[in-house]
């Protein structure tokens, strides 16, 4: 039986007793006195009931207040632990209890204090610059300029006269298609809207990406800085969703044990406990790890943009040269067709010339044969003539001698 039931039973008995006492007293007391005494009994019962309830309420709230005080004290110790961090040298059993309670709630207490963490966050914020997440893309023009509505933070703190430069990324995960847009200059500022103009002429591919974007943009005042800890703890499969295949091996190998073939500038030595070895501490190095080359994303993107512009100029020049070459090729093909026709005609003429040449050659051979025959005849005639001339000379000589002989005989006969 609880306290409330006991009080009700006690009150019921008291009422019955007061009724009996009132009845007995009515024989000697006046009615008014009896009524007053009865109401006094009733009032005293109500008083005791309310007093009991009040005591119960006080007991309940005192217990709850004590519990809350203990919780407040524990919370204050937890807050202090999160502020100051863990100091194992001065940590007491109470501190261990506080830390264990925080860990049960999923809160890990760091060695550094909240103030140190706030300092680190402030440093990271300085490195990152101002940041405007999830800016709503209102419109994108054909030249790549865009108008966006900034929803956080407000006020956005951008002034047109400051000539702010921002680097825009599509909001979301890279695996879901989010891409880097470009670097922009803020050329128009409203209460919650800004107008962005590309820092340089966008390449056709980049312009297509910007004009095709339909999601929100994350705007950074400073291009995000490449750090080793950004990709720490990611396995090769996770990295493959973020890193292009050509650069994936060095990201996977970053922080791993170095190979003898790795370039010396990509290797760092570590002492016992994983402490980075300083210059001159080579004898204390226990392991060497590969460290990838950090990238200056702003320079890389600016270089690629400039390179893209140069390639565009080269492509236009090559296209112009190709057009000229095509025109020249067309003219050359026309000339080739004309020359082919001329060649066919010349080939036809050559065939006839060769036929005529063959006829002339045959005729020349016949003439040569006739000439040889005539030469033989002339030679024979010449030899015969010489022979006849010799015989004629001999006959003439004989005749002269005969004439002389006869001339010499004539005077002798006349005497």
pLDDT digits (tens, 9 = 90+) for 352-366: 888 998 999 999 999
Q: Are 202 and 87 found together in one domain?
A: no
pLDDT value, residue 23: 72
Q: Are 253 and 173 found together in one domain?
A: no
Q: Are 98 and 13 found together in one domain?
A: yes
Query: What's the domain range around 36?
Result: 1-128
CA angle 211, 180, 237 (to 5 degrees): 130
CATH number, position 148? 2.40.30
pLDDT value, residue 415: 46
Q: Are 191 and 201 found together in one domain?
A: yes
pLDDT value, residue 299: 83
Number of domains in the chain: 4
pLDDT value, residue 273: 78
CA angle 144, 145, 147 (to 5 degrees): 130
The pair of three-digit structure tokens given for residue 410, joined into one six-digit string: 């004539």
Q: Are strands 217-220 and 131-140 parallel, antiparallel or unpaired?
A: antiparallel
Question: Given 167, 199, 220, which residue is the final one in a domain?
Answer: 220
Alpha carbon distance 253, 281 (integer Å) = 24
Distances from the Cα of 358 to the Cα of 65, 361, 406, angstroms: 135, 5, 69
Q: Is residue 26 part of a domain?
A: yes
Q: Is residue 304 part of a domain?
A: no
Q: Is the pTM of this model over 0.85?
A: no
pLDDT value, residue 318: 92
Q: Are 29 and 143 found together in one domain?
A: no
Alpha carbon distance 179, 309 (integer Å) = 20
Question: Given 84, 110, 128, which residue is the final one in a domain?
Answer: 128
Question: Given 112, 128, 144, which residue is the final one in a domain?
Answer: 128
pLDDT value, residue 89: 47
pLDDT value, residue 235: 86
pLDDT value, residue 7: 62
Alpha carbon distance 407, 399 (integer Å) = 12
Alpha carbon distance 379, 361 (integer Å) = 26
The pair of three-digit structure tokens given for residue 261, joined into one six-digit string: 């073939």
Q: Is residue 313 part of a domain?
A: no
Q: Are 185 and 283 found together in one domain?
A: no
Q: Are 188 and 232 found together in one domain?
A: no
- Rg (alpha carbons) of the chain, rounded to whole number: 62
pLDDT < 70 positions in the chain: 1-4, 6-8, 10-11, 77-78, 80-117, 120, 124-127, 410-415
Residue 292 contacts residue 254 (beta carbons within 8 Å): yes
- Helical pair 93-104 and 31-84, crossing angle rounded to 10 deg: 90
Contacts of 397-402 with C-beta under 8 Å, sequence gap 24+, read none
Q: Are 18 and 95 found together in one domain?
A: yes
Q: Are 333 and 289 found together in one domain?
A: no
Q: Are 280 and 246 found together in one domain?
A: yes
pLDDT value, residue 359: 92
| CB-count exposure of residue 77 (10 Å: 0-12, 13-18, 19+) | middle
Q: Are strands 165-170 and 193-198 parallel, antiparallel or unpaired?
A: unpaired
Q: Is residue 278 part of a domain?
A: yes
Q: Is residue 168 part of a domain?
A: yes
């Amino acid at each position: 039986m609880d306290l409330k039931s006991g009080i009700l039973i006690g009150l019921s008995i008291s009422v019955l007793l007061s009724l009996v006492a009132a009845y007995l007293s009515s024989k000697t007391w006046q009615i008014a006195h009896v009524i007053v005494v009865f109401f006094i009994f009733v009032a005293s019962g109500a008083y005791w009931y309310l007093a009991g309830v009040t005591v119960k309420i006080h007991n309940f709230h005192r217990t709850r207040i004590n519990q809350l005080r203990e919780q407040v004290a524990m919370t204050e110790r937890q807050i202090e632990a999160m502020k100051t961090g863990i100091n194992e040298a001065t940590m007491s059993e109470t501190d261990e209890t506080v830390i264990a309670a925080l860990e049960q709630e999923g809160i890990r207490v760091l060695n550094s204090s909240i103030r140190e963490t706030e300092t680190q966050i402030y440093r990271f914020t300085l490195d990152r610059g101002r940041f405007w997440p999830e800016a709503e893309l209102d419109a994108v023009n054909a030249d790549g300029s865009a108008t966006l509505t900034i929803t956080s933070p407000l006020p956005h703190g951008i002034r047109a006269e400051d000539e702010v430069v921002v680097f825009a990324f599509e909001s979301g995960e890279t695996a879901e298609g989010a891409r880097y847009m470009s670097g922009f200059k803020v050329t128009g500022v409203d209460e919650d809207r800004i107008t962005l103009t590309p820092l340089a002429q966008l390449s056709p591919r980049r312009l297509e990406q910007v004009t095709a974007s339909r999601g929100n943009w994350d705007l950074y005042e400073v291009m995000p800085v490449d750090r080793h800890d950004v990709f720490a703890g990611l396995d090769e499969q996770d990295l493959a969703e973020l890193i292009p295949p050509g650069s994936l091996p060095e990201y996977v190998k970053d922080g791993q044990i170095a190979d003898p073939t790795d370039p010396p500038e990509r290797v760092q030595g570590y002492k016992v406990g994983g402490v980075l070895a300083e210059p001159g501490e080579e004898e204390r190095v226990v392991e060497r790890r590969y460290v990838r080359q950090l990238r200056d994303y702003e320079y890389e993107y600016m270089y690629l943009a400039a390179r893209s512009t140069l390639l565009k100029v080269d492509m236009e020049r090559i296209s112009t040269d190709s057009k000229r070459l095509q025109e020249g090729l067309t003219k050359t093909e026309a000339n080739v067709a004309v020359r082919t026709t001329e060649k066919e005609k010349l080939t036809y003429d050559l065939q006839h010339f060769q036929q005529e040449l063959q006829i002339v050659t045959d005729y020349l051979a016949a003439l040569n044969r006739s000439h040889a025959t005539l030469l033989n005849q002339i030679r024979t005639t010449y030899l015969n003539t010489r022979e006849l001339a010799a015989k004629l000379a001999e006959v003439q000589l004989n005749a002269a001698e005969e004439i002389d002989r006869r001339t010499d005989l004539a005077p002798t006969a006349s005497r």
